[in-house]
Structure 1
Amino acid sequence: MKTSELIKANATLQESLTKENNEYYGNLVIYVRAMSLFRDEKKSEELLLEVLQDILDAQNQGVSAEHYFGRNPKKIADEIIKQLPINLLDILKIFLSSLGVYSIICILPALILPEKGLDIGRFTVIGIYWMLFSIFGLWILGINLYRFKNKLFKLFFLLLLGVGVTIGFTLGSYVSTPLKLNLNGNLGIFIIISISVILLYLFYKETDKKLWSFFIPVLVTSAILGIMVRLDTFSDLLHTKEGKTGTMTVLIIILFLQYLLIFLNNRKLR
C-alpha cells in the first residue's frame, strides 16, 4: 500500500474505535507523526496501523487500549519512532513541497500589483522560515501531549508559538532582495494562469480537499484581479487611487471571510 492509502485506511478504521480508545490512539498518532517528521513516513504509518488493529482486536474482546497497552502510551510511541529509519528523501520532499506550496499560494496575491515586481529572494527566505516554524510547531505539539501537563508550560509554549507567528507575518516588511522579476503584461498573465492550473491540479490530487478549500476564495480573487490589472480594458481603472482602494477592500473582505470559515470549521470540529 502507498503511504496515502495507509493514512486513509488508518482514518477509516479509527472511526470504529470507542471514544476512550479513540482519544488514546489519536494522541499516539499525533505524537508519532509529529516526532518522526524526518523518518520513514510509510514505515511509520504501517506500524501505526498495526497498533490500531491490535486495539480493535482488544476492543472486540472488551479490553480497552489503556488496559491492553498500559497507561504510558508515550513509551509505545517512542518504541515505534526508534524503529523508523531516517529517510533523506522524505526530508528533501518535505522541504521542497513546503517551500513550493508556500510560494505558489503566496505568489498569486503578490502578483496583483505588477509594478512592485516579484521578489524571489524574499519569498524563499520567508518560505524557509515558515517551513522551519511549522516543524518547530509540530515538535511543540508532540512534546505537549505527554511530557508537559502543567498549564504554565502549555501557556508558555502557546505564547512562544504566538511570537513565532507574529515574526513570520512581520518578516515580509523587512526582507528585500535584488532577485526581483518584472511580471507586467502578458508574461504576468501567463504566470498567473500557470500557477492557477498547478494549484487546481494539486487541489484535485489532494485527499483532504476540505482543508485547502478555505484558500480558494483568496486565490481565485487574486488571480482574477492580477489578470484584470494587466489588461488594457481594466488597467487604467485599477491603477487609479479609487481602483487600488477597491482592490484592497475586496481582498480584505475575502481574507476576513476565509478566516471566519476556518474559525467556524474549527469550532464545529471541537
Structure 2
Amino acid sequence: MRIRFWGVRGSVPSPGPATARYGGNTPCVEIRAGGRVLIADAGTGIRALGDALVRERAGAPIEAHLFIGHTHWDHIQGLPFFAPLYRAESLITLYGVPGATKPFRDVIAGQMSSAYFPVRPDELAARPAFVELRGPVQVGETNVHYHYLNHPGITVGFRFEHDGRSVCYMSEPYARLNTRGEFMDKEDAAVARFAADADLLICESQYTPDEYRRRRGWGHSTFEDVLDLAVRAKAQRLALFHHDPAHDDAAIDDIEAACARASAARGGPPVFAAREGLELEL
C-alpha cells in the first residue's frame, strides 16, 4: 500500500506563507493498493490529485474510488474540481453512508446545485456511481470497513486492508461529548477496537488541550485524545491530521513534538504530523 497526503487541513483552506510547509488544503488522502486508486475524503486537496491522475493516465481511462467519511464542506468542497469527473472515459465511484434526511447522492449533489456551482451532477461527463454503504465493501483485493464516529453530523471512519496491511482513517474522532460516562467510554472502546493494530492511524487532532477548553462540544479532538486512541488500539504509527486553520507551521511543529514526547513516555507509536505531498509505503 502507498499513501499520499493531498490535503491535511481542517475546517477551511488556509493558504499562505505561514502554512506552506504543512499545506493549507482540506482533507484528501490517496491510497494505492493492488493497482487501484482509493481516496479518503474530497477536500480541496483532491483538485491537485485529479490533475495528477489525468497526467499519469495520459488519455487512458481513470478509475478511482472515493470514500467520503463526512459531508461538512471541508471534506467535500474539492469534489466539483476533480478533473476526472469531466472525462467521459473515467470510472468514478463514490461511497458514503446515508444522510439523516437525504440519500448520500443527494447530500453530495447539494453543493453542486445551481445556487453554488455552474455544473450539475447529472451534467458530469464521467457519470459517477454512488454507493450507500450498508456494510464492508471490496475494491479489487482491498477490503474497506467503516465505523460511525462522534461528531456533529453523520461521520464515519474507514479502515483499508490489503495484503496484510491496514490504514485507519478517522477524520473526526471526537472522543467525548462534554463529559465522561459509561456510554461514551463504550463508544471510545469501540473506536479503538476498529483501529486495532493498524499499521497507520490517520487521525484528526485539531486542538491543543488548552484550545479544547474554549471549544468544548465543537466535535474536534486534542492530540492527547488521539494519542490515547492510538495507544489503546496499539497502532503502529500515528499521523496527526486535520490541522487547525489557525495553526501555522511552527505551531504544528510544537504539537508534533509534544505528542511524540508523550507517546514515547507511554510506550506508544511513532508520531508525525501529516503534510501535503508526504508519501508512505506500507
Q: Give your verdict on TM over 0.5.
A: no
Question: What's the TM-score bracket when you normalise by the shorter of the two chains?
Answer: under 0.3
Q: Which one has a bigger Cα radius of gyration? A: 1
TM-score (norm 1): 0.25
More strand as a share of residues: 2
- Which is helix-richer, 1 or 2? 1
TM-score (norm 2): 0.24
